[in-house]
Amino acid sequence: MNNYTYTAVDRFLRYVQIDTQSDPQSKTNPSTEKQKDLSRVLLQELLDMGLADAELDEWGYVYATILANTDKTDVPTICFCSHVDTSPDVTGAGVKPIIHQNWSGSDITLPDDATQVIRVADHPDLQNQLGNDIITASGTTLLGADNKAGLAEIMDAANYLLTHPELKHGRIRLLFTPDEEIGRGTEKVDIQKLGADFGYTIDGESLGTLEDETFSADAVKITIQGVSTHPGFAKGKLENALKIAADLLATLPKTSLSPETTEAKEGFVHPTRMEGNQDQALLEFIIRDFTEVGLQEKETYLQNQLNDVLVNYPGSSAELVVKEQYRNMKDVLDQHPAVVDNALEAIHRAGLSANRRSIRGGTDGSRLSFMGLPCPNIFAGEHAFHSRLEWVSVQDMHRAVDVIVNVAQVWEERA
């Protein structure tokens, strides 16, 4: 965008220094109060921009409206969404962002821990960043580009639209959520109040990427009831629930069906937690596939393995309970092709080649899509997220701002 002084990087450097780590053990909304420290900053910046209805609710959600400036009355309301929290996996306290100007192509050693090296060999996307300015953390924390890059880009795009009234757009809603990283990002979202027709999360990886397909996801809990006796008097009686659980895990294939052995469109059965004693054991799994049928096959498989194991423990029993987590957004997006088409056009207009792909995970958009807000995921430039090697480039962030602005414009043009 000619002559525009981008604000995304300034904002980003501010946001990442605020610790917003979410906590999967917490029962509260938001899961950590400190997430609101950033939400309050966003709220103030939105108000300062002139978005008078900007609000932060008690659950930690920020909503704001950019009013339409077009005469057309049938332009759909578009929502742009990012999350304020960072991953529980790596600390986000005391982040010291560093800009590596005009990157020369050599490995980047992070100053506060020399064992933390961003190697070109391990980060193939770096090869497209020669001469760019790369932002990293200092080696002891994550950076938080996931998803503060997205926040900064949406805020900058809002700033652009508000300072360029000649660029026509419909009504735009901004939504900043807490607790995405612990799968609770849409728990308290008020979809009525949001009042948008279509949405985009800005939370993807490489330049030009649009993700319109996610895993479908279920959680499985298996409770095993063994037969408990005093170990000194156990012969022929004891059926140890821990051993039943271990037997079940041992039946899982070693070269397939796991996160560590699958890629692309392959699903998996993944044990995530195990606890118990000889009397009772609990196993938790996550099941992933791109289709409902694939999910059911995997759940049936697990049930069959369990039944087979139990044959050796006639006094014991087990219960397998499936809980739905989220579904592949593609089922919804296919019914609203303009959502993806307009985003692809917006990416092209930013001078990028669009890379449409699926994501081996879920996003806030997976749930939002099934809540009535079809919502694919656009790149934010985030890389190596949930790690101390996380990085984003200034130039990629600016292209993401361009794409967001273009999305608003394309919807107006095509209405």
* Residues taking part in catalysis: 85, 180
Q: Whose Cβ is closer to Zn ion: residue 363's or residue 409's?
A: 363
Nearest approach in angstroms of CB 285 to Zn ion is 23
Nearest approach in angstroms of CB 300 to Zn ion is 32
- Cα separation, 263 vs 269, in Å, equals 13
- Residue 167 per-residue DSSP state: S
At residue 161, what is the residue type? L
Could you give the 3-state DSSP secondary structure of residue 399? Answer: helix
- Specify the stretch interacting with Zn ion by CB under 5 A; choose among 12-20, 143-151, 251-259, 319-327: 143-151
Nearest approach in angstroms of CB 22 to Zn ion is 11
- Answer yes or no: are the C-beta atoms of 148 and 401 closer than 8 Å: no
- Specify the stretch interacting with Zn ion by CB under 5 A; choose among 147-155, 267-275, 302-310, 326-334: 147-155
Nearest approach in angstroms of CB 370 to Zn ion is 18
- Cα separation, 47 vs 354, in Å, equals 34
Identify which of 224, 169, 145 has the alpha carbon closest to the alpha carbon of residue 400.
145
- Give Cβ neighbours of residue 122 (< 8 Å, ≥ 6 apart): none
Binders in 148-207 for Zn ion, by CB under 5 A? 203
- Cα separation, 219 vs 13, in Å, equals 37
Q: Whose Cβ is closer to Zn ion: residue 87's or residue 136's?
A: 87
Q: Whose Cβ is closer to Zn ion: residue 203's or residue 345's?
A: 203
**Which residue shows structure tokens 């739905």?**
324
Q: Whose Cβ is closer to Zn ion: residue 212's or residue 345's?
A: 212
Q: Does 85 bind Zn ion (CB under 5 A)?
A: no
Q: Whose Cβ is closer to Zn ion: residue 205's or residue 299's?
A: 205
| Cα four-point dihedral sign 358, 364, 370, 376 | negative
Binders in 217-276 for Zn ion, by CB under 5 A? none
Q: Does 147 bind Zn ion (CB under 5 A)?
A: yes
Binders in 370-409 for Zn ion, by CB under 5 A? none
Q: Whose Cβ is closer to Zn ion: residue 197's or residue 382's?
A: 382
| Partners of 326 in the β-ladder | 217
- What is each CA distance from 40 to 147, 250, 374, 408, in whole angstroms? 16, 49, 27, 25
Q: Whose Cβ is closer to Zn ion: residue 170's or residue 204's?
A: 204
Q: Does 299 bind Zn ion (CB under 5 A)?
A: no
Rounded to 5°, the CA angle 82-384-158 comes to 25
Structure tokens that stand for 154 in this block: 């949406």
- Specify the stretch interacting with Zn ion by CB under 5 A; choose among 105-113, 141-149, 228-236, 407-415: 141-149
Chain centroid to Cα 373, Å, comes to: 16
- Answer yes or no: are the C-beta atoms of 42 and 155 closer than 8 Å: yes
Q: Does 146 bind Zn ion (CB under 5 A)?
A: yes
How many residues bind Zn ion (CB under 5 A)? The answer is 3
Structure tokens that stand for 229 in this block: 């006796």
Nearest approach in angstroms of CB 132 to Zn ion is 22
Nearest approach in angstroms of CB 382 to Zn ion is 7
Could you give the 3-state DSSP secondary structure of residue 312? Answer: coil
Nearest approach in angstroms of CB 361 to Zn ion is 9
Quote the radius of gyration of the chain (alpha carbons, Å): 24
Q: Whose Cβ is closer to Zn ion: residue 268's or residue 379's?
A: 379
Q: Where are the alpha helices (DSSP H) in 204-291?
A: 241-251
Q: Which residue is nearest to Zn ion (CB)?
A: 147
| Cα four-point dihedral sign 339, 344, 345, 349 | positive
- What is each CA distance from 260 to 181, 222, 257, 267, 302, in whole angstroms? 21, 22, 8, 11, 18
Nearest approach in angstroms of CB 365 to Zn ion is 10
Binding site for Zn ion (CB under 5 A): 146-147, 203
